[in-house]
Amino acid sequence: MKRFLAPILSILVFALALPAQAQLLPSAGTGATTSPNTLDRIVAVVNEDVILQSELDNAVHSVQQQYASQPGQLPPLNVLQQQVLDRLILMKLQLQKADDQGVHVSDNQVDQAVAQVAQQNKMTPDQLRTEVERTGQDFGAFRQQLADQLTVQQLHQSVVHDSVSVTDSEIDNLLASPSYKAGEVHLAHIQISIPGGADAAAIQAAAAKAEAAINAIKGGMDFNAAAIRYSDASDALDGGDLGWRRMDEIPPAFADTVANMKPGDVSSALRGPTGFHILKLVGQREPSKQIVTEYHARQILLKPSELMTADQVQQKAQDLYGQIVNKHADFAKLAKDNSKDDTTANVGGDMGWFAQQAWGAAVAQQLGQLKDNEVSKPFQAGDGSWDIVQLLGTRQSDLTNQMARDQARQAIGNRKAEQAYDSFLRDLRANAYIQVLVPELRDDTNTPADAGKAS
């Protein structure tokens, strides 16, 4: 079961491209549920919803399965339970907010997600269902996990959509900033959060916990194991791995520290707006020039209409092709008189210079087969349309600067989106009624699971 669930979980996180805060812990298979003779108790109240002991046990068991080959990386059971409960609470809050805002996913969207998971595992959807059920997991629960993931993804999009915009001046400022660093780094982190409005004692406790984590690492503890044990970030159970990030995506407060680190280095505890952060530089790579092949071409695009059927469109395309290659008719004039592409018809079908995939896969395929000034045979362009393309030339273009601007825009947008959603989650927790009913599952030092309106 562990061998099968591991790739599934990876796909759920990465193929669906969810924000880290939205990751949902998987349900476990057989052996993790509460015994039929045991009374299932409520371990936490989240607004008007509850989390049951069986839910927590299932999720904890699933994490233990994922680390079955490296059990030493897991923290003590009570700490693991606190971390898992905290993530379950966060998911409950997001799903509740999504429901309040009318954010829902359709059965068709879930079907597509199931098909995507099956494809990534080289299975058909029916084979995926059989394998999930063979491991002892209910397929309906599996679909619900996917639905929850998609729901939170849509909530995330709705939250950041109106709050994140990037101007050209912001891009210019970033690229011109002395602190701007090119290249990419692979980072891992440990986060020790400080609740909003924390007093001096809470801040001191968080600082002490960060120092304990650093001492453990200096004493030989693997950084990933330390992240699992000490971090309260949503990726703690993944060893705090942040993956590859461009330097311009790193918050400015940490960028200088990372820039002065070498692979394998671990930073001191860095104070940020939400708490203390310990960073490890896993790897780094320098930027490379972005040289791409650009194509100059022109086209004659014909589309079906009320006056012309799809068959007639195909026949006309064949006739125009014959005029061009046999009678040497002027391509530009034929395009101006016949092409139905509004952006190119008036300029003789001229498409300008563009990257190979810019006009779609069908055009790209033709370009890859043509020589300069050669005219393609008519080909289907989708929706009953037919196209004729003439390749006028190719060139090698250095798009390093343009791609740097595009990446800067994306980095600024990602940073703003992360900050906006982090603020959204903090407000969500601060205004929620959260009560952890089991004393041993409370962590008063850093886990905000009981830091809502009640504990």
**Residue 417, C-beta contacts closer than 8 angstroms, at least 6 positions apart:** 160, 164
Looking at residues 93-98, what average pLDDT do you find?
Answer: 96
pLDDT digit string (tens) for 126-157? 999 999 888 777 899 889 989 999 999 999 99
Q: Where in the chain is the domain with CATH 1.10.4030.10?
A: 2-161
Distances in Å between the Cα of 176 and the Cα atoms of 47, 158, 284 are 47, 32, 22
Model confidence at 398, pLDDT cuts 50, 70, 90, reads confident
Percent of the chain at pLDDT exceeding 70:
87
Instruction: Please give the pLDDT value at position 453.
Output: 47
The class that CATH gives domain 291-398 is alpha beta
Architecture of the domain delimited by 183-286: Roll (3.10)
Alpha helices in 287-372 (DSSP H): 310-326, 331-338, 361-367
Q: Indicate whether this model's pTM tops 0.85.
A: no
Q: How far is Cα 151 from Cα 119, in angstroms, rounded to an integer?
A: 21
pLDDT digit string (tens) for 52-85? 999 999 889 888 887 888 887 888 898 899 989 9
301 neighbors 385 (Cβ within 8 angstroms): yes
Q: Where in the chain is the domain with CATH 3.10.50.40?
A: 183-286, 291-398
Residue 130 φ then ψ, to 5°: -60, -40
Is the confidence at residue 354, as pLDDT, over 70? yes
Tell me yes or no: is domain 2-161 CATH 3.40.50.1820: no
Residue 386 φ then ψ, to 5°: -130, 145
pLDDT digit string (tens) for 296-323? 999 999 999 988 898 999 999 999 999 9
Looking at residues 251-267, what average pLDDT do you find?
Answer: 87
